[in-house]
Amino acid sequence: MLTKAVESRELRDTAASPDIAGGASGTPLAAHKVIIIGGGIAGLACGCYLQMNGYKTEILEANPVPGGLCVAWDRGPYVFDGCLRWLVGTNPSSSLYRIWTELGAIGGRQIVEHGEFMRVEGADGQVLSLTSDLDRLARDLKRIAPEDSTLIDSLVRAARRCAPLDPLEKPLELMSGLEKTKLLVRCFPILLTIARWKNREFGAYLAAYRSPFLRQALMALVGDARMSALVLVMVLGWRSRKIAGYLAGGSRAFVNAIAGRYTGLGGVLRCDARAAGVIVENGRATGVRCADGTTFPATTVVSCADGRTTLFKMLEGRYLTRQLRYAYNHCEVFPALFQASLGVNRVFPEAPRDLSLQLSRPLIVDKTTRHDRLEVAVFGCDSGLCPAGKSILIVRFVGSFSYWSKLKQEQPGDYAFAKHKLLQEIVGILDQRFPGLASHVEHTDLATPATFERFTGNWEGSIQGWLPTPRVLGRRLPRTLPGLKDFYMAGHWVEPGGGLPWAALSGKYAAQMICARDKKVFVPTAA
């Protein structure tokens, strides 16, 4: 259920406090109008922070509901969650917690910490629990792979060293020389560790392990051999700090809370409004033109929609830098996913929340994709997604975006049949692992890479923007464009690595930059 506030397609500004003067071109703040394209987490966060600082804002969201990739849908009594499995920043010891608090995102909901954050099962009955306690984790890893003890020790050491890393309070663009020097001094002790792990490709790192089962387990945790090995270090570090829990109610409750905060601050959320172009006059963004011909004048435009669509379609490729061309021509994107969701009329008290399952025969997804393992998440009623006595099983795996989107477009009947077959096969696989499951399945659903692309417009159905490879991780993409004033970009396409916290942070950073442009002190407020 949407919050009452968001149910209304247009919500008028009722509580803005535009009592501040000043602005880029001498415009009083009360007369400023910021149009934000995209009501995903980045757009909502940007809107909230600008409203907190006295700006009038309006979010144009193409879908009937806000949230973008952070989405859930109903099937009978089950809520199939298309996103949230873990949220970095669920503990007050993380600086991200403050952001979630300011955005009203957590709002008293239960935070579930899974000490065992993944269980990995091998072909010959081997089982490995991946736990957030690093001492225990090291012991368990060494138990199954004593021959890899040196590598395990160095991994755990790096996770301990990097665990305290928190994101910057403000974007680098707004930091003074002194602030940058202080940051460098603070990070100096771990810079070498970061550099060493960041520049190593995960697949190459993994190849050094002698235990095949441990290689499989670590791969299950990271998911893609092309990523930087630092991703593994950070995942273990955040888990050890217990700052990456699960928020009961999942994606829908999370998004509705932030959307409610936004409209409560006086923001206008306009759903079913698809932006087609940014209006530019005399080198300034002065509004947004929607697909239905409606125009929205603005003194500032922030795009939190897909990066490629923004740069190449809405701005017709007129403001590209060498860096942007390079990124969009050469850098890899997070692969698109399939999500099979099952609503099951029974509980699985022995099942872990996240399970990596070895398959007895590979799952053939398409001509170029087959899997020997599947990741299965099991949600009970404590997740807030299903009633007592029932469970939801979510299986996610990678597949070819081009194959499935072409099939959907050109042969919709075959697409529907292929989906049905895949879903049947997954039910069969799960029935082997959880005997009797198939006869208790009440609702099923399969979202393909084409579904994620259709729903959010993310390039190639990417679930998190850029893939954090050694080349990309830690780099920034420009938030502003040369030759175009009063225009900003936010979202996971400007923060490589992506994910909910970085989407929110990028929205906050855009708001901070707008305040700085207007010589206004940025003041966030708690919800």
Interacting residues with ligand FAD (CB under 6 A): 37-43, 60-63, 68-70, 82-87, 274-275, 304-306, 309, 337, 339, 452, 456-458, 463-464, 491-492, 498-501, 503
Distance between alpha carbon 327 and the CA centroid of its chain, in Å?
19
Looking at 90-172, list the stretches that DSSP marks H as alpha helix, in order from N- to C-terminal side: 95-102, 134-144, 149-162
Measured between alpha carbons, how far is 354 from 128 in angstroms, rounded to an integer? 12
Nearer to ligand FAD, 37 or 269 (CB): 37
Q: Smallest gap, in angstroms, from Cβ of residue 453 to ligand FAD?
A: 10
H or E element in which residue 487 lies: strand 487-489
Q: Smallest gap, in angstroms, from Cβ of residue 340 to ligand FAD?
A: 11
Centre a 10 Å sphere on the Cβ of residue 480 and count the other Cβ atoms it contains.
15
Q: Smallest gap, in angstroms, from Cβ of residue 70 to ligand FAD?
A: 4
Nearer to ligand FAD, 196 or 274 (CB): 274
Q: Smallest gap, in angstroms, from Cβ of residue 394 to ligand FAD?
A: 9
Do residues 108 and 253 lie in contact, with contact meaning Cβ atoms separated by under 8 Å? Answer: no
Measured between alpha carbons, how far is 259 from 45 in angstroms, rounded to an integer? 9
Nearer to ligand FAD, 38 or 54 (CB): 38
Cα-based distances in Å from 32 to 131, 269, 314, 402: 50, 17, 22, 42
Nearer to ligand FAD, 373 or 518 (CB): 373
For 258-296, letters b (16+ CB in 10 Å) and e give bbbbbbbbbbbbbbebebeebbbeeebbbbbebeeeeeb
Q: Smallest gap, in angstroms, from Cβ of residue 213 to ligand FAD?
A: 25
Nearer to ligand FAD, 345 or 469 (CB): 469
Parallel, antiparallel or unpaired: strands 244-247 and 127-131 = unpaired
Nearer to ligand FAD, 156 or 163 (CB): 163
Q: Smallest gap, in angstroms, from Cβ of residue 343 to ligand FAD?
A: 17
Nearer to ligand FAD, 63 or 193 (CB): 63
Phi, psi of 438 (to 5 degrees): -55, -35
Q: Smallest gap, in angstroms, from Cβ of residue 126 to ligand FAD?
A: 27
Q: Smallest gap, in angstroms, from Cβ of residue 13 to ligand FAD?
A: 19
- With 0-12 CB in 10 A as exposed, 13-18 as middle and 19+ as buried, what is 348? middle
Nearer to ligand FAD, 29 or 285 (CB): 285
Q: Which residues lie closer than 8 Å to 195 by C-beta, 6 or more apart?
A: none
Nearer to ligand FAD, 61 or 518 (CB): 61
Task: Give the sheet arrangement for strand 369-379, strand by strand.
Answer: 127-131, 116-121, 354-366, 369-379, 391-398, 337-344, 441-447
Q: Smallest gap, in angstroms, from Cβ of residue 440 to ligand FAD?
A: 24
Place of tokens 């997740």: 383
Measured between alpha carbons, how far is 165 from 478 in angstroms, rounded to an integer? 23
